[in-house]
Amino acid sequence: MAENKGQEIQKQETQLQQGTEPTREGRLFMPPTDIRETNDSIVLTADMPGVKPDGVDVTLEKDVLTVCGAVADEHLGNHNGDGYAEYEVGNYQRSFALSDEIDRDKIDARMDNGVLTLTLPKTTPSQKRIEVKAG
């Protein structure tokens, strides 16, 4: 596509939280992500080419959802920068702050052709009416 020419083609590296150091070897990339919200759920879709379903690690700690993807060995290949190279292979990592409105027990993760789809169901809002009594 002609309109892409000259655009940045490199993958964007994950910026780690300030003051922290990476605990994995190699470069870490930020997967391009879509987030869509419907009435009953939030769907997060992330491109992580080269990652197999068992290479995906989704953790939820406190309010932070972290998506990690380890690139399978067979895709590490000879990306040594020789020849015509537009990309480097590295693992993926990205974190998102979640609200309490997600039903944490029902998060569903699917990996298909290098695309991770996370479905985060919303909790049914617990409606509490507080009655004001006349003193």
Partner 1 sequence: MEQFIDRFFAPWMPEAAEGDLTVAYPVDIREEDGKLAVDAEMPGFQKDEIDISIDKGVLRISAERKPEEKKGKSHLEERRYTRVERAFTLPAPVDESKVDAKLEDGVLHLEMPETEESKPKQIEVK
Residue ranges that bind partner 1, judged by CB under 8 A: 1, 4, 7-12, 15, 17, 30, 32-39, 42-43, 45-52, 64, 72, 74-75, 77-79, 82-87, 94-99, 101-102, 112-115
Other beta carbons within 10 angstroms of residue 118's beta carbon come to 22
By DSSP bridging, strand 115-121 and strand 41-47 are antiparallel
Residue 98, CA distances (Å) to 63, 82, 84, 102 in order: 5, 41, 40, 8
Question: Which CB, 10 or 127, lies closer to partner 1?
Answer: 10
Question: Which CB, 46 or 128, lies closer to partner 1?
Answer: 46
Q: Smallest gap, in angstroms, from Cβ of residue 133 to partner 1?
A: 31
Count Cα atoms within 13 angstroms, Cβ side, for 31: 28
Q: Smallest gap, in angstroms, from Cβ of residue 113 to partner 1?
A: 5
Q: Smallest gap, in angstroms, from Cβ of residue 25 to partner 1?
A: 20
